[in-house]
Amino acid sequence: MAKGTILIDEDRCKGCELCTTVCPFGLVHIANHFNAKGYRPSTLVDPEGKCTGCTLCARICPDVAITVYREGV
Amino acid sequence: MERKVVFAKPEALTDAPTHYCPGCTHGVVHRLIAEVIDKLGIREITIGIAPVGCAVLAYNYFNLDVAEAAHGRAPAMATGLKRVQPDKVVFTYQGDGDLAAIGTAEIVHAASRGENITTIFINNAVYGMTGGQMAPTTLPGQVTTSTPFGRDVKIAGYPLRVAELIATTSGAAYVVRRMVTKPATIASAKKAIKLAFQAQRAELGFSLVEILSSCPTNWGLNPREALEWVEENMAAYYPLGDYKVIDEVKSLK
Amino acid sequence: MAKILMKGNEAIAEAAIRAGCQAYFGYPITPQTELLEYMSRRMVELGRVFLQAESELSAINMVYGAACAGARVMTSTSSPGFSLMQEGISYIVCSEVPAVVINVMRGGPGLGNIQPAQGDYFQMTKGGGHGDYNVIVLAPTTLQEAIDLTILAFDLADKYRSLVTIIADGMIGQIMEPVELPEIEPPQRPEQPWALTGAKGREKNIITSLYLGGLPLEKVNLRLQETLEEIKGNEVRYAEYMLEGAEIVVVAYGTAGRIAQTAIKEAREEGIPAGLFRPITMFPFPYDRLDEVAKGVEHLLVFELNAGQMLEDVHLATRDRLPIHFYGKMGGVVPSPAEVLAEIEKIASPQRGER
């Protein structure tokens, strides 16, 4: 399995939660803190490094708040 | 280990955060258009036309030349822009109030002329910007701020099926309906947008991609419920599909 | 240069072509239609853009689009169509893109009729659409003048990045006259760094008439007003006829101006000291010059093919320091020079009686 990770631009995120509905491993959650706009942004919780960089969360994000990385060449 | 970016903001979008409500799929469709423009390498020759409605500020989000049209007149404006510089790629981005009510004449005739432009049509069954009034595409029985008892077709008439209507015009080359509710449908919508732009590049005539979209704020649903509502209710009245794909477009695939 | 016989609508069309008009969008409406028909043939022969739109609304928005691309572009219409174009005109003015609109006026209100009239004066000179704006309005009296003003219209549109209109009427559109068509070099147009031509090697361009928030829109309005002041300073045009020793001055424009000129000639033959002041720019209106002219005369007679619209500007120009008479005909009724002469005689007779 490919190794990946995501970077969520918290200031762009509006906390719509759509990304949390599509992660195959349920790794994207809503954070407890608020961003500058007053939304609770989404956040990656991946202590076991399960993220494969599949990009599904980024593809449903209406705010282009997610950048996806994959490891290895 | 090296880290490679596999998904990031397309170049054809600016850095400006959008003003859209949380979960609004305008943002998804903007991104798809920008990704297609990047992919086709046409950013520097593409001119967009923003509508009146929620997407009125789209010119701030697309990183390309953009004009802001009067309500419903984007296809006429696009016609003027395209006719005097046929080597450019011109697209309109229009909502249902803009395209299917006040701008019905403009869209039908642009299609009928086979105007070599592309229209991305956002159907979310409601007037978003003015606060959730009935749109020409509001479903029978749907409650809006101007159909407080639900759309009564005896009074307010029936919703207009735009893709079906435009597909009857001889000038249309590519007319399809998609939705943007989950990664798979989003991918399908992106393919359609790409084909629409390719059809224009190949000078095959008018292309329109209708996209069933959500309006969580005015529907009174959360973003996830709103997407379910699109799939359950809108897609039932407005079936997804390819309504007109001329042979020359098929061979583009 | 040889004179040729042409119909007004066609002369205006040919003038536009010679001025380098690259694109024409229009919709048939009497008494303007020959202009569109002429364009449909000549523009295509020249490899330029001609398109018959589905409505005047669409036509003006096609003009708006082509203007955004920086093309020399025009449309033509007649009164009811001009009403429909007000939306696009307001947007074009706010967006500061150049375009030319010809209005071959007919009788109104409503569907009215297809006779010559000047009932659109207010709509053309006072804005017409929503918001604070004016457009340059040029009033030809002869076909030669219609040709010259059409060519000028394109240059003024470029110079001020705004919309310029020709206020013609059914008479000017339909009559035939010998005219000289100038050979024109390709136009020297100003640079258009604002045009929507694709963001290649530069920042993207946006053309919009939306400015959210009070201050941004105020700023745009102040700039538009500044341009209008510049126009008022530079572009006032008028013609004068037999003003020397005139005691009665007729103020008239367009077809009315032409009728008045004949009437004045006859009045002079009768020994009545009459003259003509004929504004050519209805906006900017020649307030100052008319005021000067009025200082040396006894009476003004405003003659229009309407209920008295320019009349208000004449009052403004002279602040009612002398008697201002009005003679107008509505509904497409065009008086003969004899009828205008009779009005001049009415004013003159008490004066003559005193002598």
Cβ separation A53–B6 shorter than 8 A? yes
Residues 75-134 of C with CB under 8 A from B: 87-88, 91
Distance from CA of B41 to the nearest CA of A (A): 20
pLDDT at position C349 is 86
* Contact: C208, B67; criterion CB under 8 Å: yes
- Which pLDDT tens digit goes with each residue over A36-62? 999 999 999 999 999 999 999 999 999
Regarding beta strands C238-241 and C274-279, do their DSSP bridges make them parallel or antiparallel, or are they unpaired? Answer: antiparallel
pLDDT, mean of residues C214-238: 97
**pLDDT for C50 beyond 80:** yes
What is the CA C269 to chain-centroid distance, rounded?
31
Query: How many domains, in total, are found in chain A?
Result: 1
| Cα gap C118→B82, rounded to integer Å | 35
Q: Who's near B13: CB < 8 A, 6+ residues apart?
A: A64, B30, B31, B34, B61, B62, B63
pLDDT at C185: 87
- Tell me whether C39 touches chain B (CB under 8 Å): no
Contacts of C61 in chain B (CB under 8 A): 69-70, 73, 76-77, 80, 106
- What span, in angstroms and rounded, lies between the C-alpha atoms of B32 and C210? 25
Residue B1 clears pLDDT 90, i.e. is over it: no
Distance, in angstroms, between B229 CA and closest chain A CA? 14
β-partners of residue B145 are: none
Q: How far apart are CA C56 and CA C28, in angstroms?
A: 9
Helix (H) or strand (E) holding C94: helix C86-95
- On the question of a cis peptide bond just before residue C31, with omega within 30 degrees of 0, the verdict is yes
The residue-averaged pLDDT of B216-239 equals 98
CATH number for the domain that contains residue A26: 3.30.70.20
Is the model more confident about C353 or about B19?
A: B19
Position C352 scores a pLDDT of: 54
Q: Is the pLDDT of residue C218 over 60?
A: yes
Q: pLDDT band at C351, cuts 50/70/90?
A: low
Residues of C in contact with B76 (CB under 8 A): 53, 57-59, 61-62, 64-65
Q: What percent of chain C has pLDDT over 70?
A: 98
For residue B201, give the 3-state DSSP assignment. helix
Domain, as residue range, for A22? 4-70
- The predicted model gives B104-123 an average pLDDT of 98
pLDDT value at residue A25: 97
Topology of domain B26-250, per CATH?
Answer: Rossmann fold (3.40.50)
Residue B5: in which H helix or E strand, if any?
Answer: strand B3-7
Backbone dihedral region of C58: left (phi > 0), alpha (psi from -120 to 50 degrees) or beta? alpha
Nearest by CB to residue B223, choosing from A12, A16, A22, is A16
Cross-chain Cβ contact C62/B105 below 8 Å: no
CA distance B176 to B194: 12
For A:13-32, CB contacts with B below 8 A are 14-18, 21-22
Chain A nearest-CA distance from B190, in A, is: 11
What is the nearest CA distance from C275 to chain B, expressed in angstroms?
46
The model carries a pTM of 0.97
Can you give the pLDDT at residue C354? 47
Find the closest chain A residue to B224 by CA distance: A18
C76-111 residue pLDDT tens: 999 999 999 999 999 999 999 999 999 999 999 999
**Distance of alpha carbon C164 from alpha carbon C134, whole angstroms:** 10
C-chain CB neighbours of B80 within 8 Å are 23, 25, 61-69, 71, 73
Report whether pLDDT(C355) > 70.
no
Task: Return the DSSP state at B144.
Answer: B
Q: Is residue B253 scored above 90 in pLDDT?
A: no
Q: How far is B218 from chain A (nearest CA, A)?
A: 15
Does the pLDDT at position A9 exceed 90? yes
In chain C the domains, ranked by start, together with CATH numbers, are: 4-234 (3.40.50.970), 239-354 (3.40.50.920)
